[in-house]
Structure 1
């Protein structure tokens, strides 16, 4: 077996360019697809308005053909690509939604996997699109059995691809947006996926992500290079299929007489010979249980670079909708993820691959709205933001250290970048309307922080901004309402709640005390609120992580306060302290 630190060789130009080079090659193969290069969006070439619903998918790259290679008539109308195993930023998702709505006035259905980064970045894009008048709905898919007991549900696996097919068929048949969304939500409840891997993959320019012995396999491996939930000795194909299907059948509560479709997802380097053997074993297993296999699909659906392994997904065709779902799956498609796609036919405008920036020119949110601050209040807001930013920068090393056990150790770096962006912003920005200030801070969080943290802060700040925009006076009640709106948005798309060992434990503890002291002396109320923020943060040291990246790792690696909770305590107490002294 190769050493863990041995670099894996790949035929690429560079790790930095491989995502964009991949998309450029895809549209060279299939000229009826259009590349929007700056936003890493691929769409079907369309003229005019179809009047129907468009289906948008996407996520990190490295899962090919997911998702851009599943774009075409009868499948996705568009896909947006992130970096390798990384969610695309909100701005790129928003561009994709706006681009599809331009040609499909029936609306846009966004299908996203149940991962924190995707939920946050796709979620904020959906909310921003709605503000500008776009008809858009989103669904979160999380059919993974291995992570199904996680607080936020199972991860999204190849079941997303099955839903691409079904929702696209409904769109072409003329169903409306909400009906398609509701069908997809219903179908996802009858889906389950589980798989194994025999070897790890590696990111371009990096060594393999984990070690596995030659006689072992990982049960429950993910599609982002994650190891599984259990190491087992390699068995025969029959034994391995039985191991997987026993758990899926139990999870879906399948019994004799039920009907299913099966999909085999090649995680990367599994040979066709192996896939064919696995297909036969699936058929025999289900027949032995009296379960009727109506269809079986096999291939690279949502891969994990070159990982050697496979997943099995079953969809239970229930008695109420099963026949209709099967019809949707049988409808034709010409997407390049399937052999013989007619998208290979070239046309005269094949060479044009440019972004259409006009779809983003309308931003209905930036109008002046909400309460107006006096000159003194503006000075207080400016200096409290300065204090918060300086505290984030000062705490970089501490936050990185707290994050290193259960994350990638960059929490401090990310928030330091946000702090510097804030310091630059307040030098020249008008702070007359706090609603606009929070909106601009949310945009900065998205662009200057990036990643999951940027998505969380961007969502929270934009929700607070919207709350302030609807207020008429600058009061304690107004700011409490904005505070609560921010927490609600983070919970909605991030999936975390107070008690889950996240920044919400700091924010919630402080908000409760602030609310209880609304009628108290203002300085005393702020001091009590700051104490509550510190207490909420300190409490995370003894909590079990139930959301976010820490929830996926062993408790042995989760030590001390949560990094996000500590960061929130730092900036919040800095703001409260300054306001208490100067208001």
Structure 2
């Protein structure tokens, strides 16, 4: 079968398109500031506003989301990832710390409910908190089509609603807690659903999927993924009814309710079609005696050139609905809405704040130290675990190929090799410091979702040790449990969801149950439990992570992440037993 042709796009190169896009934004609106090394765009300030900074971001390819909504009364800054990819933790932390210099009221970070964003933004938020920054997060998850998932629906164009609402409250001088409370309340009253008529294509690639003539995808997302069902193409009136019936049911709307509506052009829909749909939306709600107070339409959160749209609705609560409308009506000069004063040219709009991260380093005690003999044991454990993971690259890639990118082994090998390099000369005297370094290695050398998971878990374990007085078995268990709690908080998974947590949890339970046993028994029982936990994932239904998005027929073997944990845990057990 002949390969599908690559879709034509006006870019310079696949590699430079994200950065070229950001340079173009500040060329149009020179009063914005581009921080190119971190792919961050901010409002330019030279003094403390005293306000709350409103921050967001995510993958590129969704323009004008999110940088196009920077301006007074909306976002103060945004972080751009690669095409359809979450920005790395370091870039998010840079944005938070830079904006903290000029907004002492704190920061509210708005992110979509995607594993990569939750992990990378979550790690940055936790780092910022450790450094003393006042910061709150709002995870937007309003998509109806994916609302059945364990971690909730995806965050779609309703994130832009939060940009406007939070930005308007900040402009009015409200404090961080008040803005955060409002945002969480609004999130309970939002729902989004859309349709896709033709797919998009990543730069340098053919279309991501196919849609037959006369069909459309219901419930399409913004990352080029197909929807939840193929349905027959209909008229604008029919499509409107199909979407809004589900939204009305989801929000439990009844006659007399009031709503605001956002119609998001996914990128390739003509303005003529958008206008027609707006008219049909107005008529539909009128027929149900539901008052549509506002209808906003345009490119909000696109999916490159995808032909389709999302309809997002906020049910205006009786208690706060008028206030929300007041916020939505507040003035803004964000260029995603219209041309603004930011269009006036001014020199110096490009340049990183190179010293900002140096002022926001980790502020934590080193915690208790290890004796010389304990250090040698710790170093040997790390070496054994790293070597075992390097040898397991092919196995883990094979396990990952059915439900992921087939690169789990390669990704973990990069992590393991970086650890092996570190322990050749790095100090292992303080477990807290070592675990923090490993967390940073996972973030930088491992990358991706797996890197985010390991980084969060290790950072939490590090903080647990920092507050411990001694290094003993109980302290290691506390650090272990702290790591799992952090992974659950930001990754959304729990034991039983077919992830690495199944191995970690099963082994930790065995470890805890055998604390009073002799060391050999404790180690053997823990290693055996890790194997049981990894094997159990083969028969589990994936409810979190990438495997949850594919058919169960592709997940018949052990979960790659769970198997990886069993491999390094067993390597540690074997080394410790050899020294007893």
* Fold similarity call, TM over 0.5: yes
Partner of 2:128: 129
Q: Take 2:4 and 2:372, find their aligned partners in 1: how far apart are those partners?
A: 58
Q: What is the 5 A alignment of 1:402-413? A: 402-413=399-410
Q: What is the 5 A alignment of 1:304-343? A: 304-343=303-342
Does 2:59 match 1:33? Answer: no
Q: Take 2:380 and 2:497, find their aligned partners in 1: how far apart are those partners?
A: 32
Note closer, same or farther for the CA distance 1:292–1:368 as it changes in structure 2 (3 Å cut). closer
Secondary structure at the residue paired with 1:197?
A: strand
- Once the two structures are TM-superposed, the CA of residue 558 in structure 1 deviates from its matched residue by 2.1
Partner of 1:439: 436
Note closer, same or farther for the CA distance 1:412–1:235 as it changes in structure 2 (3 Å cut). same
CA contact (8 A) 1:169 1:328 kept: yes
CA contact (8 A) 2:97 2:360 kept: no
- Once the two structures are TM-superposed, the CA of residue 523 in structure 1 deviates from its matched residue by 1.2
Does 2:370 match 1:386? Answer: no
Partner of 2:44: 45
Unpaired runs of 5+ residues, structure 2, are: none
- Once the two structures are TM-superposed, the CA of residue 314 in structure 1 deviates from its matched residue by 0.3
Partner of 2:395: 398
Worse overlay, 316-325 or 379-388:
379-388
**C-alpha deviations, 1:148-176, integer Å up to 9, x for none?**
01100000000100010000000011111
Q: Take 2:174 and 2:549, find their aligned partners in 1: how far apart are those partners?
A: 38
CA contact (8 A) 2:29 2:344 kept: yes
Partner of 2:161: 162
Does 2:83 match 1:117? Answer: no
Partner of 1:8: 7
Does 2:575 match 1:578? Answer: yes
Q: Take 2:73 and 2:246, find their aligned partners in 1: how far apart are those partners?
A: 32
**C-alpha deviations, 1:330-369, integer Å up to 9, x for none?**
001101101222210123xx23411102221134536652
Partner of 1:561: 558
Q: Take 1:536 and 1:448, find their aligned partners in 2: how far apart are those partners?
A: 27
Does 2:295 match 1:296? Answer: yes
Q: Take 1:356 and 1:363, find their aligned partners in 2: how far apart are those partners?
A: 13
Q: Take 1:560 and 1:241, find their aligned partners in 2: how far apart are those partners?
A: 42
Q: Take 2:374 and 2:449, find their aligned partners in 1: how far apart are those partners?
A: 32
Partner of 2:354: 357
Worse overlay, 367-376 or 390-399:
367-376
- Once the two structures are TM-superposed, the CA of residue 580 in structure 1 deviates from its matched residue by 2.3
Instruction: Decide which of 539, 543, 549 is 1:542's aligned counterpart.
Output: 539
CA contact (8 A) 1:166 1:328 kept: yes
CA contact (8 A) 2:32 2:349 kept: no
Q: Take 1:278 and 1:27, find their aligned partners in 2: how far apart are those partners?
A: 32
Q: What is the 5 A alignment of 1:472-483? A: 472-483=469-480
Does 2:430 match 1:465? Answer: no
Superposition misfits of 4+ residues, deviation over 4 angstroms: none
Secondary structure at the residue paired with 1:147?
A: coil
Does 2:200 match 1:201? Answer: yes
Unpaired runs of 5+ residues, structure 1, are: none
Q: Take 1:52 and 1:154, find their aligned partners in 2: how far apart are those partners?
A: 31
**C-alpha deviations, 1:254-300, integer Å up to 9, x for none?**
00000000000111100001101111111111111111000001111
| TM-score, L = length of structure 2 | 0.99
Secondary structure at the residue paired with 1:572?
A: helix
Q: What is the 5 A alignment of 1:222-233? A: 222-233=221-232
**C-alpha deviations, 1:437-458, integer Å up to 9, x for none?**
0000000000001111000000
- Once the two structures are TM-superposed, the CA of residue 4 in structure 1 deviates from its matched residue by 7.1
Partner of 2:76: 77
- Once the two structures are TM-superposed, the CA of residue 461 in structure 1 deviates from its matched residue by 0.2
When the two structures are aligned, how many residues end up with a matched partner? 580
Q: Take 1:563 and 1:211, find their aligned partners in 2: how far apart are those partners?
A: 30
Secondary structure at the residue paired with 1:198?
A: strand
Secondary structure at the residue paired with 2:182?
A: helix
Q: Take 1:573 and 1:9, find their aligned partners in 2: how far apart are those partners?
A: 50
Q: Take 1:443 and 1:326, find their aligned partners in 2: how far apart are those partners?
A: 43
Note closer, same or farther for the CA distance 1:3–1:342 as it changes in structure 2 (3 Å cut). farther
Partner of 1:63: 62
CA contact (8 A) 2:130 2:363 kept: no
**C-alpha deviations, 1:188-228, integer Å up to 9, x for none?**
11000000101111111111111111221110000011100
